[in-house]
Structure 1
Amino acid sequence: MRLKTLAVATLPLALAAPAMVVAQSSSPLSQVQAHMKTVDTMTANFSQTGRTGQTLNGKLTMKRPGKVRFQYQKGVPMLIVGDGKALTMIDYEVDQVSRWPIGDSPLSVLLNPNKDLSGIAKVTRNDGQVLLIEARDPKKPEFGTITIAFAKVPSAPAGLMLEGWTALDAQNNRTTIKLSGQRYNVQVADSAFRWTDPRRRSPRG
């Protein structure tokens, strides 16, 4: 199933809060970390394009630290959920569940507000409109590289709006996520990160 193949490829991978004041002398990476620490929750629509060029849409829900849910469009029997410890892919078509430590995914850069970016990230673009950072953990090169895009929006948390990211895995497979309709620091219940285990047909968290 082409849709399922695209969804699987991603796994190795606005109500604005009051903007945090960032000193003009702050480095771009410091501004990104300030944004991460200011944003506890976020919801957004996402558009995902994989190596085949096919695009899937869905709803992203994030709650730091470590919680995320990629709810794909109707007709795609896949779900990706991070519960704070593990990143889980559920394939409802074949009743299969796969789990990875969140720290073993490039998404850990986005989900851990206290992660020190200085040793794993560098700025690749910084102008009046866009800030791009590229992150790669030298201790885990097999997990690839993630390039995160922020738009500079004064009313957004720490002056940055998360626009999306591109993940490149060790096999040079590229997956791009673009966000729209971002809403920051809205109420998100922990129940949003539970899922139904198809192997037992019972709720799991």
Structure 2
Amino acid sequence: MNHRFLAALALTPALIAAAPGELGLVQNHLQSVQSMTANFTQTDRAGKVLTGVLTLKKPGKIRFQYEKGVPILIVGDGKALWFLDYSVGQKQRWPIGNSPLGVLLNPDKDMTRFARVIPGGDPRVISVEANDPKHPEYGRITLIFLRNATAPGGLMLQGWVALDAQNNRTSIRLTNTRFNAPVSDGTFRFNDPQHKTGQR
């Protein structure tokens, strides 16, 4: 599940590049966010729900800290994105530049040709869908923003829905979001599951 979740997120970079209209608003929002913390709720296609805390700091740092008892951790330490499974003592490394979260963490990449705004009935909501036809294994991701004058760039990221190449759906909902507060670099350190199984 988490590998599909990561693969679909590879498309998030498409949202950062310069673009007119609503896509430009999304770009402005993402470029205005230097750090972010939020509670997240993750729901997979079977309806299994996991919760946790998301922490982001540019450039290149992100952490999905799952709830107590879930032996999984996803961390971007500025150089690489790590998927860590403490239950089996395994880790997987993605270079930040090619990782699913790479462009969300690097606002300099230009991939607007992969992103489009999805028309909706609620003018307060902006939904942006991204997919890379050259890499169908990344699947498709739709990020959902709510217009909010108090948030950076006038938008608040509500969450996203990721579909993998097999149409398996994972949704993330964000709450209690805080922007641009100080975040320690120590937040993005982790214990190696191959050496210290069971610890995070």
For normalisation by structure 2, the TM-score amounts to: 0.84
Higher mean C-alpha deviation, range 118-127 or range 91-100: 118-127
1:12-43 per-position Cα deviation (integer Å, ceiling 9, x unaligned)? 34xxxxxxxxxxxx511111111111100000
Give 1:17's aligned residue. Answer: none
Structure 2 counterparts to residues 18-167 of structure 1, below 5 A: 26-125=20-119, 127-167=122-162
| The one of 162, 167, 181 aligned to 1:172 | 167
SS at match of 1:119: helix
Structure 1 residues 118 and 28, CA, compared in 2 at 3 Å: closer, same or farther? same
Asked if structure 2 preserves the Cα contact closer than 8 Å seen for 1:42 and 1:185, the reply is: yes
Query: How far is the alpha carbon of 1:100 from its aligned partner?
Result: 1.9
**Structural RMSD (CA):** 1.9
Tell me, in whole angstroms, the C-alpha distance in 2 between the residues paired with 1:175 and 1:201. Answer: 29
Q: For the Cα contact (< 8 Å) 1:39–1:184, is it kept in 2?
A: yes
Q: Is the Cα contact below 8 Å between 1:164 and 1:177 reproduced in 2?
A: yes
> Does the 8 Å contact 2:7/2:137 carry over to 1?
no
Unaligned runs of 5+ in 2: 9-19
Corresponding position of 2:185: 190
Change (3 A) 1:200 1:106: closer
Query: Is the CA contact (8 Å cut-off) linking 1:10 and 1:175 kept in structure 2?
Result: yes
> What is the CA-CA distance between 1:11 and the residue it aligns to?
3.1
Aligned to 2:12: none
Please state how far the C-alpha of 1:10 moved relative to its aligned partner: 2.7
Cα distance between partner residues in 1 of 2:182 and 2:33? 12
- The farther-off stretch of 44-53 and 93-102 is 93-102
Describe the SS at the equivalent of 2:7: coil
Deviations 1:69-109 (A, max 9, x none): 00000110110111223221111111111112344444334
Aligned equivalents of 1:45 and 1:109: distance in 2? 21
Identical amino acids, percent of aligned pairs:
55
Paired residues in the alignment total 185
Whether the 8 Å CA contact 1:91–1:97 is kept in 2: the answer is yes
List alignment gaps of at least 5 residues for structure 1.
Answer: 1-5, 14-25
Q: Which moved further from structure 2: 81-90 or 166-175?
A: 81-90
